[in-house]
Structure 1
Amino acid sequence: MGESLSDYLYAAKGQMYGYLYQIDRVLYWLSVSSENSIVSIETDDDVVIRLQQGENITTIYEQDKASIKKKYPFSNTNKNLWKSITNWLTLIKTKNIDVANSRFLLATNVSCKGNNIIKSLSSASVDNNIYNTVYQELTDIANNNKSKTLLPYIDKFKEYSKEDVVSLLKRIELCECHKNYDRQNFIEQIIQNLHLKDDEIPYYDIMNSLYGWIVNTCLSLWEKDSDSLFTPRMLWKKRDFLKQQIALKPFIEQAADLIPVTSYEQEKEKGSTFVKQLDIIEVGEDEKLKAIQDFLRAKQEKHKYALNANITQSHIIAYEEGLKENWQQVFWKHKRLNKNTPADIGYEVYCETLKYKGKLAGIEPTYSYLSNGSYHKLANSLLIGWHPNWQNIINKYETNIGNR
């Protein structure tokens, strides 16, 4: 049977995950290397690092294999292992690589849970005979191979002498997570390396920008048929530029998950008018919960801006007026042209309105909670609404509450 669409999409997802893992590795190496070092991506290897320390240059050839299935990619009969070894042997021969000043790194987001031929190389510093043992184990697999997938690599492996292979084995290193790979911890390590936590700045935003810079630079260079080469100096210069850009902003935003809202605060808002406005357009419970969180986060941040930033009450008023004007245009359009049920019209008004973030002191907010929360504040004050007949419905609701 042919490959199903779901299989194809899963394979594509895995490939994309692997490519993005390479970007993580590039950022890591740039953050820890000396300023005259050079890091390249997709040149002689997935990632190549030329580490310059004084007059000495060590080149690291790195094969990166990230797996979303958490399947170990360098097991004894895995294609990735044999492809890496034969590619390196070919590279050494065809490009006259100085093996004595080179390291060959197998990097993965998965840990090996059992015995493994390449894993045993980690004991080389204790037992120098391990290289001969590993060579013999690889040779045995090659001689007894029945896998058509491995055949091209095994044929290539057999072209090289024991001396060639052992010379390579002595310089192969494993870089794998010890338990479960946590990308968040990996990114935190890069943030620490770049001293981004030394200042009160949105360091995750800077990391995202640096990540995008690597990707966009690669695409631009590849379009010109040029190699993607980076230096630590380039990274630190970009980091400083981004910090300067943030310093020029009149307010500094925090990512939503860095602004805590308690269960008590959320529960307290469930009876608020803006939540009732969502009830009458039949918004789901998960959307209401997010709306409450956005409302609370926006309230906290605007208070912080008023205290610590160059944001005045007039800036906030002008910002909310701009959001209200956007809502008005959306509301009029849907009330006149939309032929759906009133609740559906209201939901479409709500969704379309929230797409517009507005500009606070001339700057469009990065995160949506500020604009979303501000819309909910306006709805809470009955300055805007979602349902075509929101005013009448809310008035009846409040009248009924008052008569109880």
Structure 2
Amino acid sequence: MSDTAKGPASGYIFQFEKALLELSRLENSESISIEYVDDIAKLSSDGTVILTMQAKHSISSSGSPFSSTSKDLWRTLEIWILKLKDGSLNNKTQFVCTTNRKIISTSILLEFEKNKENLKEIIDKIQKLHDAQTVKLKTAKKGSSIKLILKLIDFCLKHPKELEVIIKNLKIKDHEEVKQKFLNEIHLDNGNSLEVQRDLFYEAMCGWLFIKSKEFWKNKKEAIFSKNDFNYKYNMLRDNHTITKAIFRTKGEVESENPIDFTIARDDLYIRQIDDIDRNDEDKEFIIKQAINDFILFEVELTNIIMNSSGLTQADFEEFEMKCEQKWFEIRRKIVLHNLNRYTVEQLNDFGIEIFNEVMYNLKLQFQENFGFNDNNKYIQNGCFLKLSNLPKLGWHPEWQKKYKTL
């Protein structure tokens, strides 16, 4: 991609990133629009513009959006003045200039923000800037850009009333780390998530906003998003475990790199615990092979993540093991209600089957309080339970301690 294409593309992306940040900050009755009132705008429930924003992006390390003689600055002021005159904006609207770069200290825009109560002084400085550009035009070889700036400055000077409203309600947000601010807003920067998880979530939310806006425009509708729209997408991403896929590889991916020999591990305690429960022989053989598979893949992925992850540690998995053990106790207490001597051998065996099935097939846990499992990565959860039954810290048969604890 050429530099001439990278600039506009980066600016377009920055606009959606800023829109997403503003969307995350909305009150329930508010909404944001993209390319409707302005680059970005915040609207009240009755459509009144609470905030209007011009977002400028530069890919150049020396780029300086909103400099004193930039078209960005004076075109922005022209747009806002026109919208004040036609009633789209009012004297309570907040006007925001935002950019990914630091605004240079000599920019008259900084003077607007610093000295907003003294309009006469600001008007004098604008006039001096106008005079300096007029002198410069006389010696310029190509003066088309200077002529445009002069025309825009003239327009602003002719509308001091509207200019005063803008200056009094002006905010500057430069050199912003938009992504980090968004993660702060949704509390996804608390150390309980990996960098790759945060990246995936952020990219998914930005992608949703971009694609949904295109759909609106394609159908000749305005791109307007409410707090409810944001919450729906946010919760959907969490509920569908999109981010979890960034932590754990799928079962198929790990299997392809680690072929399983099902003749091994037959004497391991976690297999004997399953084998000792009386059930249909064909079903038992299938369950044993599945258990060997999940146990080995869990161990492989555990090592892989701890060695290569940018965030997860052995302690994180030990914490998850404690959660698994606690859930196992809850399920066992729910199924086995009385002292064991009140049950027959057959009843105890059936309890063992019920506990195993409930834990391995029905139980849904979350990892680190945020991320659940799906069919592609549940081998992590099941493998953890099988590991605990191999120690043994838990068992399936109600008399598991009597049978295995002393081994």
TM-score interval, smaller chain? 0.5 to 0.7
The 1-side partners of 2:169 and 2:235 are apart by: 36
Distance 1:361 1:105, change over 3 A: closer
Q: Is the 8 A contact 1:22 1:47 kept in 2?
A: yes
Alignment of 1:243-258 (within 5 A): 243-246=238-241, 253-254=246-247
The alpha-carbon deviation at position 152 of structure 1 amounts to 3.9
The 2-side partners of 1:175 and 1:221 are apart by: 28
Q: Highest relative contact order (Cα 8 Å, sep 6+), 1 or 2? A: 2
Note if 1:221 corresponds to 2:182. Answer: no
Q: Is the 8 A contact 1:38 1:229 kept in 2?
A: yes
Alignment of 1:71-110 (within 5 A): 71-93=63-85, 95-110=86-101
Note if 1:49 corresponds to 2:62. Answer: no
User: What residue in structure 2 maps to residue 188 of structure 1?
Assistant: 180
The alpha-carbon deviation at position 364 of structure 1 amounts to 8.8
User: What residue in structure 1 maps to residue 161 of structure 2?
Assistant: 163
The 2-side partners of 1:117 and 1:150 are apart by: 16
Alignment of 1:331-346 (within 5 A): none
The 2-side partners of 1:47 and 1:361 are apart by: 37
The 2-side partners of 1:161 and 1:128 are apart by: 12
The 2-side partners of 1:155 and 1:120 are apart by: 21
SS at match of 2:14: helix
Aligned match for 1:173, one of 171, 174, 186:
171
The 2-side partners of 1:65 and 1:206 are apart by: 24
Aligned match for 1:230, one of 225, 230, 245:
225
How far does the alpha carbon of each residue in 1:77-128 deviate from its partner, in whole angstroms, 9 at most, with x for none? 11111211122222222x3234311122111111134322111122125756
Distance 1:253 1:235, change over 3 A: same
The alpha-carbon deviation at position 361 of structure 1 amounts to 7.5
The 1-side partners of 2:131 and 2:96 are apart by: 23
Q: Is the 8 A contact 1:66 1:108 kept in 2?
A: yes
SS at match of 2:50: strand
TM-score of the aligned structures, taking structure 1 as reference length = 0.55
User: What residue in structure 2 maps to residue 363 of structure 1?
Assistant: 376
Task: Return the letter of the residue paired with 1:48.
Answer: A
Task: Return the letter of the residue paired with 2:66.
Answer: F
How far does the alpha carbon of each residue in 1:5-24 deviate from its partner, in whole angstroms, 9 at most, with x for none? xxx81011011110110111
The 2-side partners of 1:255 and 1:20 are apart by: 29
Note if 1:119 corresponds to 2:110. Answer: yes
Gaps of at least 5 residues in structure 1 are 1-7, 257-292, 310-359, 366-404
The 1-side partners of 2:136 and 2:164 are apart by: 20
Q: Is the 8 A contact 2:126 2:153 kept in 1?
A: no
Task: Return the letter of the residue paired with 1:79.
Answer: K
Larger radius of gyration: 2
SS at match of 2:231: helix
The 2-side partners of 1:254 and 1:215 are apart by: 26
Distance 1:132 1:113, change over 3 A: closer
The 1-side partners of 2:170 and 2:112 are apart by: 8
Q: Is the 8 A contact 1:31 1:193 kept in 2?
A: yes
SS at match of 2:173: strand
The 1-side partners of 2:81 and 2:136 are apart by: 20
User: What residue in structure 1 maps to residue 123 of structure 2?
Assistant: 132
Alignment RMSD (CA, Å): 3.9
How far does the alpha carbon of each residue in 1:341-382 deviate from its partner, in whole angstroms, 9 at most, with x for none? xxxxxxxxxxxxxxxxxxx975399xxxxxxxxxxxxxxxxx
The 1-side partners of 2:172 and 2:248 are apart by: 35
The 2-side partners of 1:222 and 1:59 are apart by: 23
The alpha-carbon deviation at position 295 of structure 1 amounts to 11
Distance 1:88 1:119, change over 3 A: same
Larger displacement relative to structure 2 (82-91 or 9-18)? 82-91
Q: Is the 8 A contact 2:92 2:169 kept in 1?
A: no
The alpha-carbon deviation at position 135 of structure 1 amounts to 3.7
Q: Is the 8 A contact 2:26 2:227 kept in 1?
A: yes
The 2-side partners of 1:25 and 1:246 are apart by: 25
How many percent of aligned residue pairs carry the same amino acid? 17
User: What residue in structure 1 maps to residue 292 of structure 2?
Assistant: none
Distance 1:229 1:361, change over 3 A: closer
Note if 1:208 corresponds to 2:200. Answer: no
Task: Return the letter of the residue paired with 1:148.
Answer: S
Aligned match for 1:148, one of 134, 144, 151:
144
Task: Return the letter of the residue paired with 2:108.
Answer: I
User: What residue in structure 2 maps to residue 357 of structure 1?
Assistant: none
Task: Return the letter of the residue paired with 2:54.
Answer: Q
How far does the alpha carbon of each residue in 1:173-231 deviate from its partner, in whole angstroms, 9 at most, with x for none? 22112xxx5x4xx3222112113356955343222211110011011111112111112
Note if 1:297 corresponds to 2:289. Answer: no
The alpha-carbon deviation at position 75 of structure 1 amounts to 1.0
Q: Is the 8 A contact 1:34 1:232 kept in 2?
A: yes
The alpha-carbon deviation at position 244 of structure 1 amounts to 0.9
Distance 1:59 1:139, change over 3 A: farther
Aligned match for 1:30, one of 14, 17, 23:
23
The alpha-carbon deviation at position 252 of structure 1 amounts to 5.1
Distance 1:361 1:48, change over 3 A: closer
The 2-side partners of 1:211 and 1:136 are apart by: 42
The alpha-carbon deviation at position 235 of structure 1 amounts to 0.9
The alpha-carbon deviation at position 296 of structure 1 amounts to 5.0
SS at match of 1:118: helix
Q: Is the 8 A contact 2:216 2:223 kept in 1?
A: yes
Distance 1:294 1:241, change over 3 A: closer
